[in-house]
Structure 1
Amino acid sequence: MKKIAVVAANGKAGKLIVKEAIDRGMDVTAFVRGENQTVAEKAVVRDIMDLTAEDLAGFDVVVDAFGAWTPETLPQHSTTLAHLCDCVAGTDVRLLVVGGAGSLYVNPEHTACVADGPDFPDAFKPLAAAMAKALEELRARDDVAWTYISPAGDFQAEGERTGAYILGGEELTLNEAGESVISYADYAIAMVDEIESGDHIRQRISVVRK
């Protein structure tokens, strides 16, 4: 049985990842800042920056479901991810990151990203930039078995769980309907599939509804 730690588990993505993993028989511990709002029976109440290597030792996989949205907290995408990397560096513990879509490439040369496009909302550009910076810093870590999973462009918190998705890579992938969309529930399926397979170590992958 795989032992999974989900950090920032009380978030919308975190709660669904916890549930998906438990439903598949995994041993899940939710790491939260306040009262545990997940279905996990095991919970550790601690700020992400207070976690230590000892806290995360013994897990097979750590899922980073952290999110920050306000201008003053956006830099925490980098600081929290770097801290988690330091906690698992040089170990066999895998680190899976709930990523963003803004940094997905839109050309084969990988010189233009979704966030560079004229239709990308200005309101989301600071968030996309902060998450892209954290990803670039993660790419430099050769001491961590990380996997970064970007959702589709339209990431729907209340979307339905279809159970079907297309696995993509570094480039924005569209489904047969020409859409880039996925629900949080289907994203959680893809995340737990990657937890089970471990097929994309030190890679960024992406998912879109089939």
Structure 2
Amino acid sequence: MKIAVVAANGLAGQAIVAEALARGHEVTALVRSKNKSQAQKVLEKDLFDLTREDLTGFDVVVTAFGAFSPELLPQHTTSLEHLAGLLEGTDTRFLVVGGAGSLYLDESLTSQLSDAPDFPAEFKPLAKAMAQGLEALRRFNQVKWTYISPAADFVEDGEKTGDYILAGEVFTLNEAGQSSISYADYAIAMLDEIEQGQHIQERISVLGK
């Protein structure tokens, strides 16, 4: 497949690029500054300057965009709106590296993980911003999107086990009562979804066994 990875310089982006290349896909890094990933091709351009033409010809566009300072948090919504708008009405699939805070606490799908009393206060603004981005994405009915939430503990340098648990909208724990996944195993889950395409217009979640 021809895969474009937006924000390929980030840690999640680099892991996804590496996994895609290992599986023989053709990968283009879409980055604002000098490419740090292993991608064969590079388009150096700000996300918000990307055009429909820039994304033409790809089977899949992945965004690993992240914003963390308070003034940039709204970009979790505006970035998804911009990219989804460019892909609207096309056959190109759009996969999003999401967050865990917007996962629901139970099947009623009312309260989210970030609403839980023990959710760290310092992460609530980020979680809420990412949840708003997901809600904006859900409104794009003519986009083949998939939003993939990682486990609560998203481990940068964690082990690559090659295994994971696939879950849905509800926050899930493994048999050890943990919610954790390495960037490497998350990338495996992302590429499995890219190759299999079983969750179009759905949010799914993944965690380590």
- Give the structure-1-normalised TM-score: 0.99
Deviation at 1:20, TM superposition (A): 0.2
The Cα shift of 1:48 comes to 0.1
Alpha-carbon offset, residue 143 of structure 1: 1.1
Q: Any idea what SS the aligned residue of 1:72 has?
A: helix
Structure 1 match to 2:52: 53
2:113 aligns to what? Answer: 114
Contact 2:26 2:40 in 1 (8 A): no
**How far apart, in 1, do the equivalents of 2:137 and 2:81 lie?**
7
Question: Displacement of 1:38 after TM fit?
Answer: 0.4
Q: Which amino acid aligns with 1:40?
A: A
> Which AA in structure 2 matches 1:94?
R
* Residue 130 (str. 1) matches residue 129 (str. 2): yes
2:72 paired residue number: 73
CA offsets 1:40-85 (integer angstroms, 9 cap, x no match): 1210100000000000011000001000000010001111110000
Q: How many Å separate the matches in 2 of 1:41 and 1:167?
A: 30
Letter in 2 for 1:20: E
Q: CA deviation at 1:206?
A: 0.2
RMSD of the TM alignment (CA)?
A: 0.5
Amino acid at match of 1:77: H
3-state SS of the aligned residue for 1:55? coil
* Structure 2 SS opposite 1:29: strand
Query: 1:160 corresponds to which residue?
Result: 159
TM-score of the aligned structures, taking structure 2 as reference length: 0.99
Q: C-alpha displacement at 1:154, in angstroms?
A: 0.7
Residue equivalent to 2:15: 16
Give the C-alpha shift of residue 125 in structure 1. Answer: 0.4
Alignment correspondent of 1:206: 205
SS of equivalent to 2:5 = strand
Residue aligned with 1:126, SS: helix
Aligned partners of 2:150 and 2:206 also within 8 Å = yes
In the alignment, the residues of structure 2 paired with residue 162 and residue 172 of structure 1 have an alpha-carbon distance, to the nearest angstrom, of: 21
Deviations 1:108-154 (A, max 9, x none): 21111110011111100000000000000111110100000000011
CA positional deviation for 1:107 = 1.3
Give 5+ residue unaligned stretches, structure 1.
none
**What is the alpha-carbon distance in structure 2 between the residues aligned to residue 108 and residue 26 of structure 1?**
37
2:169 corresponding residue in structure 1: 170
Distance 1:190 1:108 in 2: 23
CA–CA separation in structure 1 for the residues paired with 2:62 and 2:39: 14
Once the two structures are superposed, residues 136-173 of structure 1 have per-residue CA deviations (whole angstroms, 9 ceiling, x without a partner) of: 01111101000000000111111111110000000011
Instruction: Give deviations 1:15-54, integer Å, cap 9, x for gaps.
Output: 0000000000000000000000001121010000000000
Which ranges of structure 2 fall in alignment gaps of 5 or more residues? none
Q: CA deviation at 1:10?
A: 0.2
The residue that corresponds to 2:196 in the other structure is: 197
Identity %: 63
- Per-residue CA distance 1:85-111 (angstroms, 9 max, x = gap): 011110000000000000001112111
